[in-house]
Amino acid sequence: MCLAVAGKIEKIEGDIGVVDLGGVRQPVSLIMVPEAKEGDYVLIHTGYAVEIISEEAYQETVELLKELRWE
Amino acid sequence: MGMTNSSILKSFREIMEIVQKSDLTINIMEVCGTHTMALFEHGIRSLLPQNINLISGPGCPVCVTGEEIMVEAFELLEKHNVTLFTFGDMLKVPGEGRTLSILKAQGFSVKVAYSPRNAIEFAEKNPNIEVVFFGAGFETTAPALGATILEAYTKKLKNFSMFLAVKTVPPALGFLVEHNSLIDGFILPGHVSAVIGAKAFRFITENYQIPAAVTGFTAEELLLGISLVVKSILKKEPSYYNAYPHVVREQGNVEAQRIIEEVFEKGDANWRGIGNIPLSGLFIRERYSQYDARKKYGLREKPPIVPRGCKCGEIMLGRMLPPECPLFAKGCTPEKPVGACMVSSEGSCAAYYKYGRR
């Protein structure tokens, strides 16, 4: 029920973004991600983008891996 | 992420080997129903040593929706003749022996929606039909429901309202750690956290010294979350991690939180099988009461209905595993479910039924 999928915004018109979901184009409301730009990846749930996915933050996952080293 | 996969797996294996050689029993609760399914689907349960138990928590909105809510939804159809839109998961949830699916077959107007906006679009096109959206969910879904109400308000729609069964996860987890001392660590819901922020669950580690990790849904993300929590347990240093940082911010999505705050207020809510949890529900504020189906149709709140013999509550509190319920796979199956944990594809009973033993 909290399932969400990631998709890339191809076009923005007002509050609505057209998102490519595995080859299917879907209109998605961008009302919760006002700073989203064309080309951004967003997390989509029930027709609304709930968050922008940050490429940079992947780096923090790498930091977490250091935490896992057993010493 | 490709570069990191092999190192996650390597670390995971190292940590699991240490657990296997120890005489510890470790209980980890994955709170979210989507995690429950993903753990089974990726075969992660089978990678864990015998002395780690994964317990499924109350993190499936369908499973915690009481029968009395379903009975109220039936009333909207039977007494008020509305067209009821809802998410597909709600169609098979029993209420006093009936379901929305059965009512639909009897000719009542029940429509499955992908988004609450589908109901708005339908209401605009059909001004003579009374449309209700039946919205169940957690904080992931709450801002979408709130935004839909705001859209109806802006468009001054007269024939649209919402029947809400929305609950919030942090109060339920607080209740859970107060009532179950067996849980050693938490895998926290990634998409709920995307909305409310990693900050919202820190109290689990800060107040109760239980390690926890906000976790994503791919195999690698799950292994990372589990590894961090297990290592923290082994080291006896309770730590809190945001292991899903590319999606979840510390403060969450402030705009989504603003929508929730604008449209909803907190109130007590009944969690099916668990009981009343203070301030764990969201209700439509007075300002938007014209869009509150409960008020619009004068629905009277019904006392909780609990099916006989169903152990959903015990299971969601982590005190019992699905196969230990006397009804499991006998009187209660996905085809003929007694309790909601067997109805929802994300329910722990349904997941155990589908994937078997562990």
Kindly state the average pLDDT of the residues A50-63: 88
- pLDDT in tens for each of the 358 residues of chain B? 455 678 899 999 999 999 999 999 999 999 999 999 999 999 999 999 999 999 888 888 988 888 899 999 999 999 999 999 999 999 988 898 899 999 999 999 999 999 999 999 999 999 999 999 999 999 999 999 999 999 999 999 999 999 999 999 999 999 989 987 789 999 999 999 999 999 999 999 999 999 999 999 999 999 999 999 999 999 999 999 999 999 999 999 999 999 999 999 999 999 887 889 999 999 999 999 999 999 999 998 888 887 788 888 888 888 888 999 999 999 999 888 888 788 887 888 998 898 875 4
Q: Between chains, do A61 and B117 touch, taking CB under 8 Å as contact?
A: no
Report residue B73: phi and psi, to 5°.
-65, -40
Residue B109 within a domain: yes
In chain B, the number of structural domains is 1
Task: List Cβ neighbours of A20 (8 Å cut-off, separation of 6 or more).
Answer: A7, A8, A10
For B33, the closest of A1, A43, A68 (CB atoms) is A1
Q: Are B119 and B152 in contact (CB under 8 A)?
A: no
| Tokens representing residue A66 in the block | 């250091």
Residue B56 lies in a domain: no
Strands B83-86 vs A5-13: parallel, antiparallel or unpaired:
unpaired
Q: What is the mean pLDDT of chain B?
A: 93
- The tokens for B112 are 């499955």
The reply to whether residue B228 touches residue A64, judged by beta carbons under 8 angstroms, is yes
Q: What is the mean pLDDT of residues A29-46?
A: 97
Which domains does chain A possess?
Answer: 5-68 (2.30.30.140)
pLDDT at B1: 46
Name chain B contacts of A51, Cβ cutoff 8 Å.
194-195, 247-249, 253, 256
Q: Which residues of A touch B (CB under 8 A)?
A: 1-4, 29, 31-34, 43, 45-48, 50-51, 53-55, 57-58, 60-62, 64-65, 67-70
CA distances from B261 to B200, B257, B290, B311 (A): 15, 6, 18, 34
Q: Write down the H helix ranges in chain A.
A: 58-68
Tell me how close the Cα of B246 comes to any Cα of chain A, in angstroms: 5
Q: Is B130 on the interface with A (CB under 8 A)?
A: no
CB contact under 8 Å between A2 and B8, yes or no, is no
B235 assigned to some structural domain: no
Q: Do B194 and A4 touch (CB under 8 A)?
A: yes
Domain membership flag for residue B358: no
Mutation target among B140, B227, B344 for the A interface, most CBs of A within 10 A: B140
What are the contacts of B102-107 at 24+ separation with CB within 8 A?
B103/B74, B103/B77, B103/B78
- End-to-end CA distance of chain B, in Å? 29
Whether B121 is covered by a domain: the verdict is: yes
Nearest residue to B230 (alpha-carbon basis) of B19, B8, B13 = B19
What tokens appear for A1 in the block? 């029920």
A-proximal residues of B, 325-344, CB under 8 Å = 344
- Per-residue pLDDT band for A71 (boundaries 50, 70, 90) equals low
B240-242 and B110-112 strand pairing: unpaired
pLDDT at A62: 80
Our CA-based measurement puts residue A70 at a distance from the nearest CA of chain B, in whole angstroms, of 8
**Section A6-14 average pLDDT:** 96
Average pLDDT of chain A?
92
Q: What integer pLDDT is reported at residue B302 of this predicted model?
A: 84
Domain of B100, CATH number, reads 3.40.50.11740
Domain annotation covers residue B336: no
- Report how many Cβ contacts below 8 Å link chain A to chain B: 133
Domain that holds residue B119: 67-168+252-297
Task: Return the closest-CA partner of residue B99 out of B88, B185, B183, B205.
Answer: B88
Q: Are strands B212-215 and B185-189 parallel, antiparallel or unpaired?
A: parallel
